[in-house]
Chains A and B, each alone.
Chain A
Amino acid sequence: MPLYETDPAWADVTPIELDDGGPSPLVAIAYSDDYAEAMSYLRAVMAADEMSERALALTEDLIQMNPAHYTVWLYRARILTAISADLSAELTWLNSIALRHLKNYQIWHHRQTLVDRLGSADGEQAFLRSMLDQDAKNYHVWSYRQWLVRRFALWADDSGELASIEELLNEDVLNNSAWNHRWFLVFGREGQEEGYKVLDETVERELAFAKAAVRKEPQNQSPWNYIRGLLRQTKRPLAEMKDFASEFAALDRPDEVRSSHALDLLADIFADEESNAGQAKVALAMLATKFDPIRASYWQYRKSLLPSKEAPAA
Chain B
Amino acid sequence: MSLVSGPGRGGADDDKLPEELMLSVDQHVKYIQSLDTRKDELEYWLTEHLRLNGLYWGLTALHLLGHPEALPRDDVLTFVLSCMHDNGGFGAAPGHDAHMLYTVSAVQILTTLDGFDELEQKVPGGKAKIGRYIANLQDRETGAFAGDEWGEKDTRFLYGALNALSLMHLLDAVDVDKAVHHVAACANFDGGYGAGPGAESHSGQVFTCVGALTIAGRSDLIDRDRLGAWLSERQLPNGGLNGRPEKLEDVCYSWWVASSLAMIDRLHWISADRLQAFILKCQDAELGGIADRPGDAVDVFHTVFGIAGLSLIGHPGLEEVDPAYCMPKAVTRRALGGR
Contacts and interface: CB of A to CB of B under 8 A. Distances in A.
**Chain B interface size range:** 35 or more
Nearest to A47: B95
B189 A298 contact: no
Contact of B189 (A27, A43, A183, A295): A183
Given A21-B82, A70-B49, A229-B189, A139 B270 contact: no
Contacts of B45: 26, 32, 35-36, 39
A176 B245 contact: yes
Interface stretch (B25-33, B199-207, B251-259, B329-337): B199-207
A295 B199 contact: no
Interface stretch (A6-14, A161-169, A220-228): A220-228
B202 A20 contact: no
A225 B246 contact: no
Residues of B contacting A: mostly: loop
Interface in A62-88: 65-66, 68-71, 74, 77
A86 B233 CA distance: 48
Contacts of B50: 68
B107 to A, nearest CB: 19
B190 A225 contact: yes
A21 B82 CA distance: 7
A116 to B, nearest CB: 11
Nearest to A187: B189
A68 B200 contact: no
18 contacts: A18-B95, A20-B82, A21-B94, A26-B39, A36-B45, A65-B46, A70-B49, A70-B96, A71-B96, A112-B152, A113-B150, A142-B200, A183-B189, A222-B245, A225-B191, A232-B189, A295-B235, A298-B229
Given A22-B75, A113-B150, A228-B189, 16 more contacts: A21-B79, A24-B39, A35-B45, A70-B49, A70-B96, A109-B150, A142-B200, A174-B246, A180-B200, A188-B198, A225-B189, A225-B191, A226-B189, A295-B269, A298-B232, A298-B266
Interface of B: 39-40, 42, 45-50, 75, 78-79, 82, 91, 93-97, 99, 148, 150, 152, 188-191, 194-196, 198-202, 228-229, 232-233, 235, 237, 244-247, 266, 268-271, 274
